[in-house]
Amino acid sequence: MTATRELTGVRRGVSRAENTDDAVEELFAQIFQPNASLAVVFCSPRHGTAALERALRERFAGIHLIGCTSAGEITPEGYLDGVVTGFSLSADEFVAVSRRIDNLESFSLMDGYSATQSLLWKLEKAAPAATAQNTFALLLIDGLSMSEERVVSAIGPALGDIPLCGGSAADDLLFKETLLFHDGGFHRRSAVLTLVHTRLPFRVFTTQHFVGTDRRVVVTGADSARRVVTELNGRPAAQEYARYLGIPARKLDIASMARGPLAVKVGGASYTRGVEMVNDDGSLTFACAIDQGVILNIAQGTDLVANLVDLFATLEDQIGKPRLIAAFDCAHRKLEVAEKGLWDPVSRLFAANGVIGFCSFGEQFNAMHINHSFTGVAFGAERQSLSSVLSSGPGSPWNSFALQPPPLPASDEANEYPLGDAIEVDNANKMVRVLMERLERNIDLRGDTYSLFQNAIIMEDIIRKRTTELTILNKHLTRELARRREMEEALRIAKHQAEQANHSKSRFLAAISHDLQQPLNAARLFLGTIAENETSEENAMLVERIEESLKTADDLLGALLDISRLDAGAMPVERSTFPLDGLLTQLAAEYMPQAAACGIELRYVPTSRTVCTDRRLLQRVLRNFLSNAVRYTAEGTILLGCRHGGDGLWIEVWDTGVGIPEDKLSEIFQEFHQLRNLPAARGRGAGLGLAIVDRIARMLGLTVEVKSRLGKGSAFRILVPYGTTPGGEEPADDPRPKDDQGVLDGKVIIVVDDDPDILDAMGVLLATWGCTTVLGTDTAEVLEKLAVLERRPDLVMADYHLGDDLYGTAVIDTFQAAYGEDLKSILITSYYDAPIFDRVEGRPFRVMRKPVKPAQLRSMMTYLLSPPP
């Protein structure tokens, strides 16, 4: 086991053990933290991926672990080969979320936006809003996928100014299989994107020690999809490249290519294009995007150790002594370090600065995929305030920087071409130089992978400049924003007060509606009892007039409450798909007895159509159509039916009533508007019914139409969209006979209500219909009476709210459990809100609204207790 520094919030470790299980166990012991937010592991493929996968999955079970295979590891001891190393970050200082990206070959800009945004949303559930000062992105990607440019160029725009660093997984320079570890297993042709939020100061960085010279070559033949260059300067690529390096083509190997890479100049900076291998056909495979027509410079190395010293000094100046540096070091750099005998000084530098990482097949920095670089993220030791971060120097708003060596002095050496005459050589060299310089200034920015790389560099520079300009502009906007915030706060307070007033109004109306409906309900039940008994003609007329007055008061209370809920947005919309026939059959059954009592025939034409809308609110609209038709039709017929209407179904109610003048059709949907000078109707409405219909239709996005001829009748209709999945809704009600002759005689009816007046009135009314009643304020009282009666009940009626957190739904459940689920039930309520319907959804309850009308109650009971046809 190798000892590591104990750092609060950060653990680092390495295992040299050859046995895979031992290596993973030893690493776990060093980096385990009980509250780890993230653990990262880099491993040599020498351990065998199957055994390594199993060991990591089992030992790190329940820990957020990511990682990849490598071409060498950077450990607390510096460079090592064939080991397992890693680090962990505690939840005290870090919040980390990860996502795997598959199918890299088809990864698009939209995919990048979607993947990144989903991670940002996930991160912001556990941490403050992500910014460049508190969050960075870490990307691990399959190093043989040839998709790095595609992925980083898609992720970069979605990240905005949040910095990104990462490395391409490697396999000890075998170039056969590179793997990513995520979600308990290794994955191929994938990437793992991680967002890390921290309260520690940090910097994302990149540096390289190569700089482009004036010696240039042109890519004259390339297969950009495979990153293969077939020709340089019109000659076989390997031959020409070897000539510039001053060695025979046959001696080109990965070490010589590491010493003399090629570079491209974009925006005044040099970016190394690493050559990965020489192919049998004399072509070269690159580790990054390349394309025909690109000008490459022969790169010359500077002091690698001095470059690292400068980097670590810069980091210490900006964030203090690094607590941890997670780094991705190009595999070519390690080859150069070994060849030049720099292993010890570089390893000491890494160990002294807390570097943990791996040797990669490429590195990612913000929106660029690069080679021959040392890239990563460094964490300072002390928490840093936002103000100190913003004042920490140039570039700090991005929290990242690129450190490059100074350019080399201009060289008189020109490109050499084997032309016979010295003058021709000189002229040719001049022409080539001028053409190359012009080409460098006018590289076509297209949509291939190389252009993605070039665009990323240019866009990053532009964005930095724009960021500086916006920072200055923001200072000027601050005062204006402060004034606007004051205005917004005033508006917010006013809006809150208005909403509170609206809610108070709704609560008040709901309260008075319930309190007033209780005595109204009792009064109507007693009145129904009087009407059932034989009375004089004069008394019968008085009873009828009282009934009309009570009904008007009931309608007005209900309408006021509905208007209040609709205006306050307190009537939720719950769309569903259901067969329409069940709803229309129920409404026809309810209104047929009322129509017949008035000498009107109500006809219903069944339908097999399925619709999609809010069933409860649609029922409210159709009830209004039918009640108006009964009220304003003296004699004749009312027709309820449907017809096709394009994308939807028209549900129509036709009557032969008094009709409406054509110039008054638009007025009938206004609140409290009642048409004058019409023949007498059966009772006067509140003038709110059609106003409620109009609000419901607008809320559901439905169309309501009306046609009418004065003295001939009216037709109201509503267009409802067709449903596509009718499954799951209740079937159409059984159209049983509506003749109640003898149906209620001798039936045992349970009534549960916490209002004694309601119980008395209901008992008297039901007795006049020949029913045996069992009355009580709770289930216990009723069950005692039933035990004495020794008869099975036929129907139970319960008030919805019985006080003391007891609800009628529970009462009905109790009786149905005792006497069978086929026990018919009616739930009576003065409320008409969504929670009631949520409680009875999918259950065999019928709901009636207070005040209960005796005629409607008798119709409903007859319907429920009639035997099937």
Mean pLDDT, range 214-240, rounded to an integer: 88
Q: Which residue has the higher pLDDT, 234 or 198?
A: 198
Nearest to 747 by CA among 799, 798, 814, 795: 795
| Among 43-52, 138-147, 227-236, 739-748, the least confident range | 739-748
**What CATH number does the domain containing 452 carry?**
3.40.50.2300
**What CATH number does the domain containing 589 carry?**
3.30.565.10
- Are 853 and 710 found together in one domain? no
pLDDT, tens digit (0-9, with 9 covering 90-100), for 479-505: 777 778 788 888 888 877 777 766 666
Q: Give the burial class of 646: count Cβ atoms within 10 A of its Cβ; 0-12 exposed, 13-18 middle, 19 or more buried.
A: exposed
Amino acid, single-letter form, for residue 534 = E
CB–CB of 180/190 below 8 Å?
yes
Distance of alpha carbon 326 from its chain centroid, rounded? 31
Identify the band that residue 728 occupies on the pLDDT scale cut at 50, 70 and 90: very low
Cα–Cα dist 450/296, whole Å:
13
Q: Which of 62-66, 389-393, 413-417 has the highest mean pLDDT?
A: 62-66
- pLDDT for 417 equals 45
Mean pLDDT, range 622-628, rounded to an integer: 90
pLDDT, tens digit (0-9, with 9 covering 90-100), for 181-214: 999 999 999 999 999 999 899 999 999 998 888 8
- pLDDT for 390 equals 38
- Are 729 and 740 found together in one domain? no
Beta bridge partners of 211: 300
Q: Is 80 exceeded by the pLDDT of residue 100?
A: yes
CB–CB of 116/158 below 8 Å?
yes
- Are 605 and 712 found together in one domain? yes
- The residues, ordered by sequence, that sit 6+ positions from 623 with a Cβ below 8 Å of its Cβ are 587
- pLDDT for 731 equals 39
Is residue 82 assigned to a domain?
A: yes
626 is written with which tokens?
């039918």
- Are 352 and 280 found together in one domain? no
pLDDT, tens digit (0-9, with 9 covering 90-100), for 16-74: 999 999 999 999 999 999 999 999 999 999 888 899 999 999 999 999 999 999 999 99
**How many CB atoms neighbour CB 803 within 10 A?**
11
| Residue listed under structure tokens 């004259």 | 220
Identify the band that residue 550 occupies on the pLDDT scale cut at 50, 70 and 90: low
Beta bridge partners of 329: 359, 374
Nearest to 295 by CA among 443, 175, 482: 443
Q: Which of 308-312, 443-447, 470-474, 591-595 has the highest mean pLDDT?
A: 308-312
CB–CB of 808/802 below 8 Å?
yes
Nearest to 159 by CA among 326, 364, 363, 366: 366
pLDDT, tens digit (0-9, with 9 covering 90-100), for 561-586: 666 666 666 567 888 899 999 899 98
Percent of the chain with pLDDT over 70: 75
Average pLDDT, the chain: 81
- pLDDT for 662 equals 82
Amino acid, single-letter form, for residue 328 = F
- Are 343 and 478 found together in one domain? no
Q: Which of 57-61, 289-293, 472-476 has the highest mean pLDDT?
A: 57-61
Q: Which residue has the higher pLDDT, 81 or 554?
A: 81
- pLDDT for 459 equals 57
- Are 644 and 748 found together in one domain? no
The DSSP-derived string for 602-642 is: EEE-----EEEEEHHHHHHHHHHHHHHHHHT-SSEEEEEEE
Beta bridge partners of 357: 74, 327
- Are 523 and 616 found together in one domain? no
Q: Is 70 exceeded by the pLDDT of residue 771?
A: yes
* Residue 371 CA: distances (Å) to CA of 78, 406, 722: 21, 18, 60
- Are 699 and 655 found together in one domain? yes
Q: Choose the final residue of a domain: 301, 325, 344.
A: 301
- pLDDT for 666 equals 74
Mean pLDDT, range 794-800, rounded to an integer: 91
Distance of alpha carbon 86 from its chain centroid, rounded? 33
Q: Choose the final residue of a domain: 301, 331, 364.
A: 301
3-class state of residue 193 by DSSP: strand
- Are 824 and 743 found together in one domain? yes
Mean pLDDT, range 599-613, rounded to an integer: 90
Identify the band that residue 528 occupies on the pLDDT scale cut at 50, 70 and 90: low
820 is written with which tokens?
């069978």
Cα–Cα dist 207/227, whole Å:
24
- Are 730 and 793 found together in one domain? no
pLDDT, tens digit (0-9, with 9 covering 90-100), for 316-359: 999 999 999 999 999 999 999 998 999 999 999 999 999 999 99
- pLDDT for 397 equals 40
CB–CB of 255/339 below 8 Å?
yes
3-class state of residue 356 by DSSP: strand
Identify the band that residue 90 occupies on the pLDDT scale cut at 50, 70 and 90: very high
Is residue 414 assigned to a domain?
A: no
Query: Quick one: which H or E segment has residue 461?
Result: helix 449-532
Q: Is 90 exceeded by the pLDDT of residue 401?
A: no
pLDDT, tens digit (0-9, with 9 covering 90-100), for 275-289: 988 999 999 999 888
CB–CB of 333/167 below 8 Å?
no
Q: Is 50 exceeded by the pLDDT of residue 387?
A: no
Is residue 339 assigned to a domain?
A: yes
CB–CB of 445/451 below 8 Å?
yes
Nearest to 561 by CA among 613, 626, 625, 516: 516
**What CATH number does the domain containing 276 carry?**
2.40.30
Nearest to 630 by CA among 600, 605, 585: 600
CB–CB of 115/101 below 8 Å?
yes
- pLDDT for 419 equals 41
Is residue 228 assigned to a domain?
A: yes
Q: Print the domain residue range for 244.
A: 210-301
| Residue listed under structure tokens 């947005």 | 569
Nearest to 273 by CA among 327, 190, 332: 332
Mean pLDDT, range 457-478, rounded to an integer: 66
Is residue 548 assigned to a domain?
A: no
The DSSP-derived string for 153-221 is: HHHHHHHTT--EEEEEE--TT--S---EEETTEEESS-EEEEEEEESS-EEEEEE-SEEEEEEEEEEEE
Mean pLDDT, range 722-730, rounded to an integer: 53
Is residue 554 assigned to a domain?
A: no
Q: Is 80 exceeded by the pLDDT of residue 853?
A: no
Is residue 564 assigned to a domain?
A: no
Cα–Cα dist 372/138, whole Å:
19
pLDDT, tens digit (0-9, with 9 covering 90-100), for 656-697: 988 888 877 777 777 655 655 455 455 555 567 788 888 888
Q: Is 90 exceeded by the pLDDT of residue 140?
A: yes
Identify the band that residue 476 occupies on the pLDDT scale cut at 50, 70 and 90: confident
CB–CB of 833/565 below 8 Å?
yes
- Are 199 and 69 found together in one domain? yes
Alpha helices, DSSP H, located in 68-183? 109-124, 148-159
Q: Exposure string (b/e) for 807-833, b if CB count within 10 Å is 16 or more?
A: bbbebbbbbbeeeeeebbbbbbbbbbe
- pLDDT for 416 equals 47
Is residue 566 assigned to a domain?
A: no
| Residue listed under structure tokens 């606007």 | 484
Q: Which DSSP state fits 200?
A: S
- pLDDT for 493 equals 84
| Among 390-399, 587-596, 812-821, the least confident range | 390-399
Number of domains, the chain? 4
- pLDDT for 832 equals 56
Q: Which residue has the higher pLDDT, 149 or 511?
A: 149
Pairing of strands 636-645, 600-604: parallel
Cα–Cα dist 736/862, whole Å:
9
7 is written with which tokens?
């750092």
Phi, psi for residue 356 in degrees, rounded to 5: -130, 135
Q: Choose the final residue of a domain: 700, 734, 768.
A: 734
Identify the band that residue 391 occupies on the pLDDT scale cut at 50, 70 and 90: very low
- Are 294 and 340 found together in one domain? no
